Amino acid sequence: MPGTNIPQHVPQDLVRNFLSSHQDAMERDPFTALRYVYEGEGQDIFFDPLGARLTQPHLPGAWVLTRNADIREVLQDPVLFSSKGITGFSKLLGQDWDLIPVELDPPEHAKFRAIMNPLFSPKRINELEHDIRECASHLVRKAAQRKDCDFNEAFGRPLPVTIFVRLMGLPMEEFDTFMRWEDMVLHSMDMNVRHEGAVEIHNYLKELIAKRKLQPVDDLVSFAVKAEIDGQKLTDDEIMGICFLLFVGGLDTVAASLAFTFKYLAENPEARQRLINEPDLVASAVEEILRTHSVVVTNRIVTQDTTFRDIKMKQGDCVVCYTALGSMDPKEFENTQELILDRSPNRHLAFSTGPHRCLGSHLARREMQIAIKVWLKTIPDFWIPEGAEIKAHGGIFGLDSLPLCWD
Ligand code: HEM
């Protein structure tokens, strides 16, 4: 129950039942709903009794940061704000391994980051450009044979998932199964369903890792199997930690961001036209769409009793960082509610900051840029059918479906 899940050291005047009182608004449009945190006399940092319900349901609520500067400071200070256990996935399985590198703190984190950085470097992404373009063209040509589609099914999911499935060395025929597991672990509010999804992914990856150990090929799972740190091969838990994170981090984030991108484009014909006339604007438009639709919510665990911005936090407290709040703070962004296609500078936090800054950001950006250019070339005019009800989900923010139509 909201209001009852509050540790003793949290003063009553810092408690705000934000999530429970904005649940309906969050389902309609999480980014509009989140703006309510800046309304009224609210504190910059408050304690939400439901604050960490997705990843840390065992904790009594969490501190919520609302300011870009505070979120940056926390994300850039892994000594005071640890990432250990932040996703809760291995705990969900009754096990104790880290998702790598996202649940590691320095100095271990840097060792893994160093071996993983080249996998998603700008050079590597340039090599993938042709495949991304070809896949996007194929999907949009197929969609254009009809006059309507659910964007998620026809384009938004298959594009990043096809590229990712190839990189991971997973069989394309099992696309639907992967998406079902992904929905279970990332979007269900039922812990049993999340557990079941995590077990399926874990078992599947375990088998695949064993196969690649016997016969490595040119894919990310084989990379993890062959990788060495300080002359030592990775342990089975480390290999699983890398593969599990790539599986849950790489499949859903771009698809979710594309859904919000195309909802915005469907609702804003003048923006579509501008991007068609000025294709060089697409790169900055993607940054601005990522700013106004930052889909990831992450958190950190306080490592020792401390005072942060005059607030007493205790060791073990959870601090929730909505990257969306870091990206929409009116103290940081002028006219923050406006989506300005050529906004510059644009210090959004969609990809986080600090040591855990997103490893896949170059890939994500390139996929989004190509998706916009290729779709607008084939289907320049499109809209959401009248009366369509569009619902959003949490975990990673996304849209359940996005019906689109065109002439
Ligand atoms: C628009 C799409 C994406 C968004 C918005 C996004 C966002 C993020 C965020 C906010 C973090 C940091 C989490 C934290 O600080 O706790 C992160 C980390 C990470 N992301 Fe992404 N991501 C996206 C796409 C991808 C893709 C496509 C991949 C892989 C193929 C990927 C792989 C990773 C990895 C491995 C990390 C962990 C980095 C570390 O801990 O050092 N991401 N991402």
> What pLDDT digit, counting tens, does each position of 331-362 carry?
999 999 999 999 999 999 999 999 999 999 99
* Model pLDDT, residue 2: 45
* Model pLDDT, residue 395: 79
> CA–CA separation, 2 vs 308, rounded Å?
24
* Model pLDDT, residue 1: 45
Q: Is 113 in the pocket of ligand 1 (CB under 6 A)?
A: yes
**Ligand 1: residue whose CA is nearest its atom 25:** 360
How confident is the model over 40-49, as pLDDT tens digits?
A: 777 899 999 9
| 303's tokens | 């490592």
Q: Please tell me which residue, 390 or 185, carries the higher pLDDT value.
A: 390
Give per-residue burial for 72-108: e unless 16+ CB within 10 Å, then b.
Answer: bbbbeebebbbbebbbbbbbbeeeebbbbbbbbbeee
**What's the mean pLDDT when you consider all of the chain?**
94
Q: Is 253 in the pocket of ligand 1 (CB under 6 A)?
A: yes
**Ligand 1: residue whose CA is nearest its atom 1:** 254
Out of 104, 253, 292, mutate this one to test ligand 1's pocket (max ligand atoms within 8 Å of CB): namely 253
* Model pLDDT, residue 3: 46
How confident is the model over 284-332, as pLDDT tens digits?
A: 999 999 999 999 999 999 999 999 999 999 999 999 999 999 999 999 9
Average of per-residue pLDDT across 134-150: 98
Average of per-residue pLDDT across 17-30: 90
Residue 101 has pLDDT above 50, yes or no: yes
Q: Is 396 in the pocket of ligand 1 (CB under 6 A)?
A: no
Q: Is 102 in the pocket of ligand 1 (CB under 6 A)?
A: yes
* Model pLDDT, residue 4: 61
Fold of 12-405: Cytochrome p450 (1.10.630)
Residue 38 has pLDDT above 50, yes or no: yes
Considering all CA atoms of the chain, what is the largest pairwise distance in Å, rounded to the nearest integer? 61
Compute the distance from residue 284 Cα to the ligand 1 centre, in Å: 19
How confident is the model over 240-292, as pLDDT tens digits?
A: 999 999 988 877 899 999 999 999 999 999 999 999 999 999 999 999 999 99
* Model pLDDT, residue 405: 98
How confident is the model over 212-230, as pLDDT tens digits?
A: 999 999 999 999 999 999 9
* Model pLDDT, residue 352: 98
Compute the distance from residue 54 Cα to the ligand 1 centre, in Å: 18
* Model pLDDT, residue 41: 72
**Ligand 1: residue whose CA is nearest its atom 43:** 358
Q: Is 184 in the pocket of ligand 1 (CB under 6 A)?
A: no
Task: Kindly list the domain boundaries of the chain, sorted by start residue.
Answer: 12-405
Q: Is 258 in the pocket of ligand 1 (CB under 6 A)?
A: no
Q: Please tell me which residue, 131 or 55, carries the higher pLDDT value.
A: 131
